[in-house]
Structure 1
Amino acid sequence: MFVSYKWLQDYVDLSGVTAEELAEKITKSGIEVEGVETLNEGITGVVIGHVLEREQHPNADKLSKCLVDIGEESPVQIICGAPNVAKGQKVAVAKSGAVLPGNFKIKRAKLRGEESNGMICSLQELGMEGKIVPKEYAEGIFVFPESVTPGEDAIAALNRDDKVLELGLTPNRADCLSMLGVAYEVGAILGREVMFPEIKLDEAGEKASDYIKVTVEATEDNPLYAAKVIKNVKIGPSPLWMQTRLMAAGIRPHNNVVDITNYILLEYGQPLHAFDYDKLGSKEILVRRAHDGETIVTLDDAKRTLTTDHLVITNGTEPVAIAGVMGGANSEVDSATTTVLLEAAYFTGGTIRKASKDHGLRSEASARFEKGVDPNRVREAGERAAALMSEYAGGTILEGTVEVDALKVEPAVVSITMEKLNSFLGMQLSIDEVKDIFARLKFDASVEGDTVTVVVPTRRGDITIEEDLIEEVARLYGYDNIPKTLPAGEQSAGKLTSYQAKRRVVRRYLEGAGLYQAVTYSLTSEEKVAQYALEKTDAIKLAMPMSEERSLLRLSIVPQLLEVLKYNGARQADSLAVYETGAVFLSKGEELPVEEEHLAAAVTGLWVSNPWQGEKKPVDFYVLKGILEGLSEKLGLDGRVEFVQVQLDGMHPGRTADILLDGKRIGFIGQIHPTVQKELDLKDTYVFELKLGELLEAGIEPLHYEPIPRFPSITRDIALVADKETPAGKLRSIILEAGKPLLKEASVFDLYEGANMEAGKKSIAFSLKYANPERTLTDEEVTKVHEKVLEALKEQAGAVLRG
């Protein structure tokens, strides 16, 4: 909701309170003001000018040479390129030395040899968005009504010397979708009275009931429908003050009748609709549910097919409007209209929401009906609009209102004890203080003993229970005024749990390794839900998903990370490493799903790129494996995490491994299958996913320190011939086990599978490091253990020394 500060002053005295101060007070009272826009920011030196003469520029077909009176001693010559500039117009002129939005400075200049002393401005050049500029001025300069005087401030005449507050309203505060609603709120905050618009209704002798009959079949959807008839209207532009207020609220002016209905929508929060009475083709308004397959052409010239879920306004036979959403083109008010049928109605929110959603028509009117309008303001809004049409369109209001009224609305009555109110707020407010707050809100409140009973006005449909009254008292008293207290009981410093602390270690380690943290949706599609899942369970479907793409709770994080890589790759960010810690959701039948925290990562493109040195290293399996090994060491699990080759759906058959912790599978690591990479338009991409809880909750031995070795170590290299299928990890495990306790390290440094090797065999070389912390080893001791290692390799893996 956009609220004009100047317009608001018509209803509440704002003296002594700036727009910025008011915004802060409104925000502190519970309605967030998202911003305050200064409409004339950066504009100086713009006045009203009178075009005395206009002639064709001698050297340019599309330029005009104008003599303009700008209220100074003598008129000035201005060259103008607007197609609609003409003699006799009152226009906005940026004088020489003026500044326009964007710090655009106006200077004396020569245009095609002719001197120009300023610029005649369009509304867009004065900072207005094109979508709110009246259509007749969209392609040219703006023309003021004759009543303005040359030399006056054009910005003030356009009401641009104003500030607009943008309210970020929650759905429950539909009462503030109107200027009067905001006025009630501001009046309560400032403790000032609210002034209401005066309605002067001069009705003619003819009766509206002689012109129209109203019937409502769907009274549940439309319990109140009121119609007024205004004859002899003259369609033309609305007054400038009304146009500028509409534009400040983001609404484009059209003509006086349509602008008045939009003005009342903003002022009262009550949508109205004006029909061209002569186009109705009957003397009847019938409100009913549409027939299946029935059609209507709406004001946007779109043909729409209706169903029985939609409420329509008809002339007795055919629809002339989709109720509360949009009128029909067959009854549109236009320049030839002379008699207006004005509709003021109360439609139920659910029906309007259904039609609005089905037809993709989200309007200011439908938004208000959906959230709820004040039923006791419907007739008043219609009468106010009729009075304005009489004043600004020259209309004659026929006597009476033709209506169907099946609306039964009683104000909510809510009681609360002072004991409960003070207990909730942790305060000691008096009854008088609470009564004063309700009086400022214009709520009728009575006191009996310790109990306050409030009769809530119908404009505040969000107040229904005791807690709502507590909230009203708290926000108007001021959240800042609620005393600060410490919790009672033992006081101890807060700290992270062991799990939380380790999770932070994991995140910091991965970010230090060069991975960016991603936060992706927990919702996925039927196609992706089972991909890369560590545990295959039934997918959990949402009861009311927003879309099929976000209809199921995920079983794995990897598909979402691949989408992140795809999205970035499409934008030339094709070398990327991301990780995420998040929940997956495992079905347990009728019980609530189990949320299990996982850690996943995805890496693609170049891992190292140093163009100056000519060094480029694409990511591979060992990069990601090294990251995980470093992480396990960081968590004190060094030596307990293993990688065992495996084949998984969607993964490369030769570059994928299970991740084992103490022999138990907790995840997987590997390259995405080439066909999947091609579908996602990715380079070689490597991922892992594991159960983070298993990793962080694993018991670890207390930290032991070892002294720096005082005695030298001995290194022996061996080249083994083994079956091609024998994993290097298995050979390493055999070596380390057989070499205890003198063997400290074993690492692979060479692999050979070329010529001179027996079929089905490979040569793999290890470097072995022996040491004794208590003394220097002899060759005999090392040889003895070394032979034991070779023996174990032969017996357990069939691996022998290469000859």
Structure 2
Amino acid sequence: MNILIPDSWLQEFLKTKATPQQLKEYLSLCGPSVERIYKKNGEILYDIEITSNRPDAMSVAGIAREAAAILPRFGIAATFLNDPYDIKSKVESRKLKVEKKLFIKTDPKLNPRWASIVLSGVHVGPSPTRLIKLLEATGIRPVNNVVDITNYLMRSYGQPTHAFDYNEIGGGKMILRTSRKGEKIVTLDGKTHVLPGGDIVIEDGNERLIDLCGIMGGYNSSIKNSTTSVVLFTQTYNPENIRKTSMALAHRTDAAGLFEKGLDSELVLPTLVRGITLMEEMTGARLASKVYDIYPSPYKPYTVSVSKKKVTAYIGEDIKNIEKILTPLGFRTKIDASSVTVTVPSFRKDVTLDVDIIEEAARMFGYHNIAAHLPASEPPVVLPDVELSYEQEIKTRLRDWGYTELYTYSMIPEKLMDMFGLNKHKAYKIANPLSDEWVYMRPTLLPGILAAIKENLKHEHSLQLFELGMTYGYRQHDLPKETPVLMVAWTGNRLREAKGLAEAIAALFGLPFEEGVYGSVSEADAEILAKMEITEPVTILTVHIEEMVRRANPVKKYIPIPKYPPVIEDFSFVVPPDFRVGPFIDVLSKIHKLIQSVTLLDGYENKRTFRVTYLDTARTLTNLDVAPVHQKFLEYAAEKFGISPVI
């Protein structure tokens, strides 16, 4: 996940004299990777990549905390300012002039912490210019002062916040539950979603869904220009539910991206308190209720220990002052003679194993500071994957033989499933396809290849294409069986060329090509070609790679170069329409020991030309030696196949 952070916003949380270039270099060495720095509208922006296990760093405050710990390692003073965990609530001690109540029902399994408050006297309007510029710089569209405050809190602290129009919440009731299959909600962007069931939602007293929790609020309770009373709401959710709903509905938002990674419930109340202050300052809001803070299972700090010996073994360095390295990151560290024990802060729940401590120590020490050492023993032997080696060899050979490789999508549209007569009940349908073109996992490569031929025929009429990819066989109540398949396609009637290529590929495995066992050679169905508006015939070769690898004979047999020259003869025959070259070659090449090979040399209309090579490894053959074999060849051709040579 990448976030954009303006330098001026970062300075609200970080006091340092480091230049932007130094921040980029040192953060990238020991923490989040700063992909680039650039200027936009006079503001310096950091484009920062955050790994998915670090939601605590997906905010301005989170990056400032990292920078404050890392920069001193490079001799640059840095202080973390305005730590949100230091925010204290004084709301409870203030008297209320008007009281508006909320009736809340929640589920701690779905919603570990709920914090909300009602604010009255709200004046909705545009935000201050500075806030608008900050949000726009990070890619967030300004809406109004209330909504902009919630977005500011999310980007500042990494804690999504939502605002409801209190007067649109029926009876002041907010019931958090899972959705029923088929329920509908219209979200803030005006889209109507049919819920698959099991999604976290909030229902009001009128039994209306007013929030698709963790993803986007409901349109019916949104903040409008006429809004005067607001429910400010911060919370955490079960990350699994949020992820499933977001993916099932193909609805991705910044809030969903944070909630699905598991946020810190300890940050909920400080964020709400900061939000109250901003609402008072920017909208003239007044408190109209108590703070509703429902937190049945507060965070209990836990410890993780690692032996010093293991730290040294993994890093290759005896790291001194490890306590000074870990403490700025928020860990309370205890060291004894043999081990290091840390108390994990609530925002670092990704640290659960001893190797996690080693990783933190190593990155802060600096991977660039770890001296390189040659291994004490020989490196482990890694044997290449046999199937992948064969696949790479096939691709290389086909490229060198003049074929063009295709990469088509592993998903195909429903219209192609119907066109090719493929059983949709025996194929995997994607639950939330990003497009109508990517709905089913392909059970065969043919639809994708023919679609590619259709497009390429606009530019070139003589095509020879191939794809080596996975097909996805159906297995009930299980994941698909992924099978590697090679498919080669030619435009035109190229059956003989296809058979020759099949034999050449089989030879790479040390095998003869057996049609039906290792693959097939055929012409594409004319009816399907017509439906796809392909006007030329298409020849298809299919090779089952997995079966060939299983039966491969990698041992090569050495055949020495003959000492004596061969005698070569060419025969042309007029053949019937159903004549098959393969059986003819198989039979005629075995009628005499002097026949070394019989190959098809040429073909035109109903004529076939074969080349016969005679060879004796012990002596030079004469015409007298070859003559009886020659005659026997012609007799067999006439007797077994009913064909005679062209004179």
Q: Deviation at 1:9?
A: 1.9
Q: Deviation at 1:604?
A: 3.5
2:123 corresponds to: 234
1:666 corresponds to: 518
- How do 1:438-453 and structure 2 match up within 5 A? 438-453=326-341
Structure 1 SS opposite 2:518: strand
1:16 corresponds to: 18
Q: Deviation at 1:580?
A: 3.9
Q: Deviation at 1:176?
A: 1.9
Out of 705, 712, 716, the position equivalent to 2:561 is 705
Q: Is the 8 A contact 1:597 1:693 kept in 2?
A: no
2:631 corresponds to: 787
User: Counterparts of 2:150 and 2:475 in 1: how far apart (Å)?
Assistant: 56
Q: Which has the higher strand share?
A: 1
User: Counterparts of 2:360 and 2:314 in 1: how far apart (Å)?
Assistant: 13
User: Counterparts of 1:210 and 1:498 in 2: how far apart (Å)?
Assistant: 73
User: Counterparts of 2:574 and 2:194 in 1: how far apart (Å)?
Assistant: 78
Q: Which amino acid aligns with 1:246?
A: L
Q: Which amino acid aligns with 2:584?
A: L
Structure 1 SS opposite 2:274: helix
Q: Deviation at 1:243?
A: 0.7
1:210 corresponds to: 99
1:624 corresponds to: 498
1:70 corresponds to: none
Q: Is the 8 A contact 1:425 1:482 kept in 2?
A: yes
Q: Deviation at 1:457?
A: 1.3
Q: Is the 8 A contact 1:542 1:551 kept in 2?
A: yes
2:487 corresponds to: 601
Q: Deviation at 1:2?
A: 1.7
Q: Is the 8 A contact 1:208 1:400 kept in 2?
A: no
Q: Is the 8 A contact 1:184 1:194 kept in 2?
A: yes
Q: Deviation at 1:384?
A: 0.9
- How do 1:37-436 and structure 2 match up within 5 A? 37-39=38-40, 160-191=41-72, 192-196=78-82, 206-207=95-96, 210-280=99-169, 282=171, 285-289=174-178, 297-302=186-191, 309-319=198-208, 320-357=210-247, 360-397=250-287, 400-430=290-320, 432=321, 434-436=322-324
Structure 1 SS opposite 2:542: strand
Q: Which amino acid aligns with 2:549?
A: G
User: Counterparts of 1:506 and 1:304 in 2: how far apart (Å)?
Assistant: 47
Q: Is the 8 A contact 2:182 2:195 kept in 1?
A: yes
User: Counterparts of 1:586 and 1:251 in 2: how far apart (Å)?
Assistant: 43
Out of 362, 377, 386, the position equivalent to 1:474 is 362
Q: Alpha carbons of 1:505 and 1:312: their partners in 2 closer, same or farther (altered >3 Å)?
A: closer
Q: Deviation at 1:447?
A: 1.8
Q: Is the 8 A contact 1:233 1:396 kept in 2?
A: yes
User: Counterparts of 1:723 and 1:221 in 2: how far apart (Å)?
Assistant: 76
For residues 107-165 of structure 1, what are the alpha-carbon distances to aligned partners after superposition, in whole Å with 9 as ceiling and x for unaligned?
xxxxxxxxxxxxxxxxxxxxxxxxxxxxxxxxxxxxxxxxxxxxxxxxxxxxx222322
User: Counterparts of 2:118 and 2:192 in 1: how far apart (Å)?
Assistant: 28
1:134 corresponds to: none
User: Counterparts of 1:797 and 1:479 in 2: how far apart (Å)?
Assistant: 76
Structure 2 SS opposite 1:210: coil
Structure 2 SS opposite 1:371: coil
Q: Is the 8 A contact 1:208 1:228 kept in 2?
A: no
Q: Deviation at 1:307?
A: 8.0
User: Counterparts of 2:97 and 2:245 in 1: how far apart (Å)?
Assistant: 30
Q: Alpha carbons of 1:603 and 1:721: their partners in 2 closer, same or farther (altered >3 Å)?
A: closer
Q: Deviation at 1:589?
A: 11
Q: Alpha carbons of 1:185 and 1:780: their partners in 2 closer, same or farther (altered >3 Å)?
A: same
User: Counterparts of 1:743 and 1:506 in 2: how far apart (Å)?
Assistant: 28
2:465 corresponds to: 578
Q: Deviation at 1:267?
A: 0.7
- Further displaced range: 402-411 or 773-782: 773-782
For residues 491-531 of structure 1, what are the alpha-carbon distances to aligned partners after superposition, in whole Å with 9 as ceiling and x for unaligned?
799997998776554332211122233455667899979x9
Q: Is the 8 A contact 1:26 1:33 kept in 2?
A: yes
Q: Is 2:541 aligned against 1:688?
A: yes
Show structure 2 runs of 5+ residues with no match.
73-77
Identity across the alignment (%): 27
Structure 2 SS opposite 1:439: helix
User: Counterparts of 1:359 and 1:532 in 2: how far apart (Å)?
Assistant: 29
Q: Deviation at 1:390?
A: 1.8
- How do 1:731-770 and structure 2 match up within 5 A? 731-741=584-594, 747-749=600-602, 753=606, 766=610, 768=612
Q: Is the 8 A contact 2:89 2:270 kept in 1?
A: no
Q: Deviation at 1:465?
A: 2.0
Structure 2 SS opposite 1:164: strand
Structure 2 SS opposite 1:206: coil
2:394 corresponds to: 506
- Further displaced range: 460-469 or 312-321: 312-321
Q: Which amino acid aligns with 2:360?
A: E
Q: Is the 8 A contact 1:212 1:285 kept in 2?
A: no
Superposed CA RMSD: 4.4
User: Counterparts of 1:201 and 1:500 in 2: how far apart (Å)?
Assistant: 61
Q: Which has the higher helix share?
A: 2
Q: Which amino acid aligns with 1:463?
A: V
Q: Is the 8 A contact 1:540 1:553 kept in 2?
A: no
User: Counterparts of 1:288 and 1:470 in 2: how far apart (Å)?
Assistant: 41
1:2 corresponds to: 4
Q: Deviation at 1:454?
A: 1.3
Q: Is the 8 A contact 1:32 1:168 kept in 2?
A: yes
Q: Deviation at 1:575?
A: 5.0
User: Counterparts of 1:695 and 1:322 in 2: how far apart (Å)?
Assistant: 55
User: Counterparts of 2:347 and 2:221 in 1: how far apart (Å)?
Assistant: 31
Q: Alpha carbons of 1:262 and 1:490: their partners in 2 closer, same or farther (altered >3 Å)?
A: closer
User: Counterparts of 1:582 and 1:451 in 2: how far apart (Å)?
Assistant: 50
Q: Alpha carbons of 1:220 and 1:570: their partners in 2 closer, same or farther (altered >3 Å)?
A: farther
Q: Alpha carbons of 1:532 and 1:748: their partners in 2 closer, same or farther (altered >3 Å)?
A: farther
- How do 1:558-577 and structure 2 match up within 5 A? 561-562=449-450, 564-566=452-454, 568-569=455-456, 576-577=463-464
Q: Alpha carbons of 1:723 and 1:473: their partners in 2 closer, same or farther (altered >3 Å)?
A: same
Q: Deviation at 1:418?
A: 1.4
Q: Alpha carbons of 1:282 and 1:695: their partners in 2 closer, same or farther (altered >3 Å)?
A: closer
Q: Which amino acid aligns with 1:232?
A: G
Q: Alpha carbons of 1:541 and 1:446: their partners in 2 closer, same or farther (altered >3 Å)?
A: farther
2:405 corresponds to: 517
Q: How many equivalent residue pairs?
A: 625
- How do 1:26-37 and structure 2 match up within 5 A? 26-29=27-30, 31-37=32-38
Q: Deviation at 1:724?
A: 5.1
Q: Deviation at 1:291?
A: 6.9
- Further displaced range: 618-627 or 434-443: 618-627
User: Counterparts of 1:731 and 1:343 in 2: how far apart (Å)?
Assistant: 83
Q: Which amino acid aligns with 1:4?
A: P
Q: Deviation at 1:313?
A: 3.8
User: Counterparts of 2:333 and 2:601 in 1: how far apart (Å)?
Assistant: 85
User: Counterparts of 2:219 and 2:533 in 1: how far apart (Å)?
Assistant: 48
